[in-house]
Structure 1
Amino acid sequence: MTRVVLALLLLWPAFPIAAQDSPGSDVLVRQSIKPESGAVIGQHVALYVDVLFRNGMPRPPRVSLPDAPGLQAFRFETQATTIQESIGNESYVGQRFEFALYPRRGGVFELPPAAVTLLDRNGAETRTAQGQALRLDVGVPPGVDPSQPVVATRGLTLTEQWVPGQDGTFKAGDAILRTITRSAEDVPGLAMRDLAFPVPDGVRAYADPPEIDDHSNRGAITGRRTDRVTYVFERGGHVTIPAVAQPWWDLATRTVRTAQAPGATITVEAPSATATPAAAAARSEGGWLARHRSSLIAGGAFLVVLAFAVAGFLRHRRRTDAADESAAFAALRRACATSDAAAVYHAFARWRAFLAPAEREAASRAAIRLDAALFSGASARWENRDSVEFVRLLADIRRSHSPHASEFRLAPLNPRSP
C-alpha cells in the first residue's frame, strides 16, 4: 500500500507566465497535462513536470505546485520516473514528477508554472527554475450537481455491512454498527464526498472518522474510503434507517450513475406494557450493567492499577530527586574546600537547579559575593575563607527551608520559571 501525502490546494495566486527553457540550456523544465481537453468536474487530470539536465543530473530536484482555487492536488509517495532524451544533438537525463489534479468546479483554470529547486550533489540548493503556465478547461456534464464533490471514474463500488445482522433481535438500549465502503478507480478516498446519516426519532447516530486506504499500482490509483456509524435505539418500534447514495459520473458511458446502500428496517422490542416507567428504567439500566459488567470491572481494575503506578512513580521520582540533591550539595561542599571560584560556581549552579523558586532566590542572594569575584574583574578576589563562609550560608538556607534538619524540600516536578 502506498501512503498518500495530501497537498490540498485551495487558493492559487496569479503568477507571470515564464518562457520555456530552450534547447541548449543546462536545465530544461517542461509542464504538461493529460487529458489536454475534455476534462470534467471531479475527473483525475495528471499534471507532469519534467526536469532534464544536460550531461547528467547531480541530484533529483524538489518540485512543488502553487495553490489553485477550485482544485485538489495530490502528490503520491512514489519516486519520480527517470527519463532520458536527446534534444538538439544534446543528451539530457532527468526525472518526471506527477501530480493528480481534481477540479471541483467547472470553467477555465490557469495553471501557473511549477516551482523547481535545483540541488548539488550534497543536497545544497543551487538555484531555482520553473515550468510553463497551462490552461485547463473543465466541463460540467448534464445531470451532475457541481455544488457537491463529484466523483468521475470508470468504476465505483459501494458495499454495506451490519453488525449484528439487521434481522436480529433488538431491545431498547441496543446498538447496531453500519459500515459503508466505497472504492473507485483513479480517485483517492479523500476526494470522495462525506456521507449524511439522517436518523428517525428514537434513534441516535454516532459516526466514526472515515478510514482512508488508497492503493497505487504503476501510477494507477484505487481509492478506498470506509465510513462507520453506530445507531443506538432509545425505544421500541419499527425503525427505518434511510438509504445512503453516492452519485458518480461514468467516464466510460458518459452517464450519471448512483451507487446506493439500501438502509434497513429494524424491529426493536419495547419494554413490557405492565411495567412502570421506573421499573422499565431499572431493567434497562440493569440490562446495560449486565451487558457491560465485565468491561466496567476491567476498567475499574485498570484505573486502580494506574493510580498505584502513578503514585509509585511519584514516590520514586521524589526519592530520586532527593538523592540527586544530596549528591549535588555534597559536590558543592567539596568544591568549597578550595578557593577555585569557577569550580564553586559550577557546583553551586548544579545544586541550585533542584531548588524551589523561594529557595533558589535565597541561594542566589547568598551568591552575590561569588558573582562579583567571577564577573567583576580583578576588583574582587575569592579566597578559601570565602568558600567556607559561602557553603555555611547555603547550609543554613537548606536547613531553614526543610521541615526536618536531615531533609530538604525539593522543587515541584514541574516548577514554574522564576
Structure 2
Amino acid sequence: MTPARPTAINLHRRRTLRLAAAGLAPLGLLAGLQRVCLAQADAANAEPKLRVRWGVDGSSSDDNPASASHPLQLSDTLIVRLEVWVSTWFLAPIDFPATLASTTALSEAVEGSPESAFEEHAGQRWTGLIRRYRVQPLQPGELLLELASALEILPGRGEGQTQHVRPPAALRLQVQVPAGAEGLQPFVAARRLELHQQWQPELQPEARWQVGDAIRRDLELITDSRSPLLPTPDFGRPAGVELRIHDGIRKQQQDPTQSALQRFQYGATHVLHDAGTVELPAIELAWWDLEQQRVRISRLPGITLEVAAAAARPDPFLSAAPPSALPTLGADSPSPSSPFSSTASARPASWALAALLGLVLARWGWHRRKPAMQALQQRLQKTGVDEVRARWQLRRACLRDDPVAAQGALSVWLERLPGARREAIHADPACAVAMRALARQRHGPATPGSADGWTGRALWQAVRKALPTRAQSARKRAHNTQLPTLNP
C-alpha cells in the first residue's frame, strides 16, 4: 500500500505548529526559572530547622553509636560527641554543659572551643557545632548518658528569637569488665602505680622498743590513673597498738615532664600500748595494668617489734662517775714533783734548765705576739657570734615550749661555750633541775619522785640567771666611754 502524499493543507498546518512551538519555547523557560526562584524564596522564608544527635569517636555508625567496632571495656576512656545542626547558620555560640548527666560514669568537656562543621542533608547545606566529652565508666553494665537541660540556640533567619532544643534520647552503651579482672574491687586501671614507705624513727637492728613509744609510717602513692576510685591504704588494726591515721594529701607535681603522674601521701602513727610481740601488717593494693592487660599487686612489707615494759630511762644529766682515785695530799705536804719539795730532785741544774727554757719561750712568744693576738681575737669573735646565735635559738625554742628544738639548741649552745662557763651552767641548781626535766620530757616517763613537767620558760629563766652579768659589763663599758663633765 502506497502511503498518501501530504497535501498542501497538511504541509501548511505542520509549518504553523512548528512556528507556534518555537514562539512558546521561551515562555516555558521562564516558567521553569520562576518555579526555581519561588522554591528558593520559600526555602529562605522557611523557619530554620534544628537537629541534635550523639556521636562516639571510633564508632562505626553515628546513627547508632552504641554499636562500636569493638566492645567498650571498663578500663577504656570514651570520647562522646554532642552535635547540634541547623539548616541556616548560628548567630551566637552555644552554651554547652560542662558535664553529662550519668550515674555510672564520670564525664568532662574536652578542653578547647566547639568544632564547627558542614554537611549536606535533604538537599540543604547544614551548619553544625560539635562538643566532645571525655567519659570514664565506673562500673560494668549499661552506661547511660543524657543532657540534664535543653540547649538554647540562636539560628539565622529565626527572627532573633532564642530556640530551646529538646535534648536527644539518652545514649546507651554496654560496658564490660576486662577478662581476668572480674574479681578486682574497686577497679583501678593504670599504666604505672608505685607505693613507697618510710618509718620514723628509722628502724635499726639495735633499737629497743618499750610501752609508750610511737612509730610513724608515711606512704606515698605515685600513679597515672585518673580513676576517682583510688583506695586509701589500709594500715590495719594490730593488737596492742593505738592507731592514729593522718589526713591524706595530694602533692603537686613539680616536674613538667611527668605532669600525667599524681602523688598522694598518707600517714599513720602507731603508739605501742602492750608489751610483747607487735606485728605491723603489710599494705597491698591491687590494680589493672593497661599495658600488660593483667592484675598486678603493689605491696609494702610490714615489721615485727619486740616491745618491753615501760621503764624509766637513765637521766643523762645525773653523773655517776666514781670519786677521784688521786691520793689526798695534806695541807703541809708539798707534791713530790713540786720545785719547792725538799727532796733531792730540787737541784740547781734543774732550776737553770727551767729558766733557760722559759727565756727561750718568752723570746719566741714576743716575736709571735701580733699574729697570735690577731688569731685569738678572730677566734674569740667567731666563738662569740656563734654562741649568741645558738643562745637565741635556744630562747625561741623555749618560748615555743618545743622540747625537741630546745634540747637540740641547748646542746649546740653548750658546745659553743668555754669550758669554765659550761661547767658553771651544769653546776647551777636551777639549770640542773630544768635540764633534768627536759631530759625526762624527751627520753622517758616521769619518775614518781620527779618534779612537775618541763616548761620552756622555766629553762630559759634558769639559763638567764646563770649567765654572767653581761648587761652590767656593757653598762660599765658604756659609762667609761662617756665624755668627762666639763667645768662650768
TM-score, length-scaled by structure 1: 0.49
Q: Which has the higher contact order (CA 8 A, sep 6+)?
A: 1
More helix by share: 2
Bigger radius of gyration among the two: 2
More strand by share: 1
